[in-house]
């Protein structure tokens, strides 16, 4: 009995430590990382333009809205932005994966693969910014396209364009406006 309680207490200690040690990540505030992803998204667009054959079938994809109204943005809070960004990233991730299944051209396939891994990295970056509300509300769902924050595109070039605009716009503005990064800069 005594050994059992001892073991339990040790386990509890480990759990507590584990819980505390995992979450506080150092925030990644350097926008040059995002700029790198933006450049790679643009490279995919270029490869797409030059692709001759095996460049993906005509398919509809659900993608996030990319438009940014600065006037509206100023009044929006960061967490709301974070939600938008998280949702959008997951949508893009799904769409790109679907697109890759139809692509046989190897340079294009490699580029798309690169973009997918970049989106995952962005997720990690957002996580590091400790945007709690964002994390909790993300619910990746394949079968639920109906959302006010989505639009439909019918080809891979359009999808890639949306990806590029999304990264340059909403994601970037969120990262530059994140409180964790503001605290560091000020």
Residues forming the site for another protein (CB under 8 A): 31, 35, 38-39, 65-71, 151-152, 161, 165-166, 168-170, 172-173, 176
DSSP string, 7-49: HHHHHHHHHHHHHHHHS-PPP---HHHHHHHHHHHHHHHHHHH
- Residue 149 CB, shortest distance to another protein, in Å, is 11
- Residue 178 CB, shortest distance to another protein, in Å, is 13
In the bound state with another protein, the residue whose beta carbon lies nearer, of 69 and 142, is 69
- Residue 65 CB, shortest distance to another protein, in Å, is 6
- Residue 97 CB, shortest distance to another protein, in Å, is 23
CB burial readout 36-61, b (16+ within 10 A) else e: ebbebbbbbbebbeebeeebbeeeeb
Q: Are 175 and 129 in contact (CB under 8 A)?
A: yes
In the bound state with another protein, the residue whose beta carbon lies nearer, of 73 and 116, is 73
- Residue 125 CB, shortest distance to another protein, in Å, is 16
Judging by DSSP bridges, how do beta strands 150-153 and 61-64 pair with one another? antiparallel
In the bound state with another protein, the residue whose beta carbon lies nearer, of 141 and 152, is 152
Distances, alpha carbon 138 to alpha carbons 2, 82, 97, in Å: 43, 10, 18
| Neighbouring C-beta atoms of residue 115, cutoff 10 Å | 24
In the bound state with another protein, the residue whose beta carbon lies nearer, of 21 and 72, is 72
CA atoms lying within 13 Å on the CB side of residue 66: 20
């Amino acid at each position: 009995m005594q050994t059992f309680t001892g073991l339990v207490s040790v386990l509890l200690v480990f759990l507590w430590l584990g819980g505390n040690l995992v979450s506080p990540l150092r925030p990644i505030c350097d926008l040059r990382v995002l700029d790198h992803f933006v450049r790679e998204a643009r490279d995919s667009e270029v490869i797409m333009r030059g692709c001759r054959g095996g460049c993906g079938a005509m398919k509809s994809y659900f993608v996030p809205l990319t438009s940014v109204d600065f006037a509206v943005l100023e009044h929006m809070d960061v967490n709301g932005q974070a939600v938008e960004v998280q949702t959008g990233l997951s949508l893009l991730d799904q769409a790109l994966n679907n697109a890759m299944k139809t692509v046989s051209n190897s340079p294009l396939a490699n580029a798309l693969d690169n973009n997918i891994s970049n989106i995952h990295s962005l997720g990690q970056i957002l996580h590091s910014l400790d945007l709690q509300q964002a994390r909790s509300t993300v619910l990746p769902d394949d079968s639920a396209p109906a959302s006010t924050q989505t639009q439909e595109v019918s080809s891979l070039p359009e999808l890639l364009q949306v990806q590029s605009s999304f990264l340059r716009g909403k994601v970037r503005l969120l990262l530059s406006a994140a409180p964790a990064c503001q605290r560091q800069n000020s």
